[in-house]
């Protein structure tokens, strides 16, 4: 009984000191278990911005553990983009025919206290479950604005890639242009992936 009392006393003193004790040794294993539990696809969202001679180009993408049909249903849901993308104020299909469709959108983008409302009229061409190409024909706020979404099935579910080349009409420093596009694109990709995960439940 005396030896047991000494052992218990040592364990209590070790716990108070934050030293080697049963509870202290367990913490790293708990932390490791939490890290292992986070799926690898949750860390792979990427966004890069290159300053072209005229405007900027954004490239980004992510994996999502969803089917290509779910991914496509989100990317092609033009009339309801504003329900899951916070920067989108309105989005609606104005025309659809055998060659493609036209989508009118109004969005707000910016950094810090600077925000600008922009409008585009996108000519959209679809390759179902593979690619969506778009190009602004309104040219009100941009000299050029064109890009695409690509989706491909892989071992993690579906890979989604995004590209946009844009040259705003408003003069702005290149560093500001890069910052705005990178922030806006990252928010867009995060929110699109979140909607895919929600629909896949």
- pLDDT given for residue 6 in this prediction: 47
pLDDT single digits (tens) 9-65: 545 554 455 444 444 454 544 434 444 444 555 668 999 998 666 678 999 999 999
pLDDT single digits (tens) 172-192: 666 666 777 888 899 999 999
Contacts of 182 (CB under 8 A, 6+ apart): 47, 48, 49, 58
- pLDDT given for residue 17 in this prediction: 53
Predicted TM-score (pTM) of this structure: 0.76
- pLDDT given for residue 111 in this prediction: 53
- pLDDT given for residue 27 in this prediction: 52
- pLDDT given for residue 44 in this prediction: 85
Q: What is the mean pLDDT of residues 189-198?
A: 98
The pairs formed by 46-50 with CB atoms below 8 angstroms and a separation of 24 or more are 47/182, 47/185, 47/186, 47/189, 48/182, 49/178, 49/181, 49/182, 49/185
Which domains are assigned to the chain?
2-36 (no CATH), 41-200 (3.30.530.20)
pLDDT single digits (tens) 69-95: 999 999 999 999 999 999 999 999 999
CA angle 32, 37, 43 (to 5 degrees): 100
- pLDDT given for residue 56 in this prediction: 85
Pair 148, 141: CB distance under 8 Å: no
Token pair of 17 as six digits:
């000191």
pLDDT single digits (tens) 131-174: 999 999 999 999 999 999 999 999 889 999 999 999 888 776 66
pLDDT single digits (tens) 102-118: 999 999 876 544 578 89
């Amino acid at each position: 009984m005396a030896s047991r009392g000494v052992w218990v006393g040592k364990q209590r003193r070790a716990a108070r000191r934050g030293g080697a004790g049963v509870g202290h040794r367990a913490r790293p294993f708990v932390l490791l278990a939490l890290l292992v539990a986070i799926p690898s696809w949750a860390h792979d969202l990427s966004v890069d911005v290159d300053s072209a001679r005229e405007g900027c180009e954004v490239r980004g993408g992510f994996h999502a553990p969803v089917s290509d049909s779910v991914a496509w249903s989100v990317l092609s849901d033009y009339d309801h983009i504003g329900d899951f993308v916070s920067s989108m104020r309105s989005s609606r299909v104005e025309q659809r025919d055998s060659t493609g469709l036209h989508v009118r959108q109004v969005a707000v983008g910016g950094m810090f206290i600077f925000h600008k409302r922009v409008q585009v009229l996108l000519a959209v061409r679809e390759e179902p479950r593979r690619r969506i190409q778009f190009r602004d024909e309104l040219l009100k706020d941009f000299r050029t604005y064109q890009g695409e979404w690509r989706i491909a099935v892989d071992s993690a579910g579906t890979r989604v890639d995004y590209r946009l080349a844009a040259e705003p009409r408003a003069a702005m420093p290149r560093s500001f242009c890069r910052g705005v596009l990178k922030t806006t694109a990252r928010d867009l990709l995060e929110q699109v992936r979140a909607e895919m995960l929600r629909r896949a439940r």
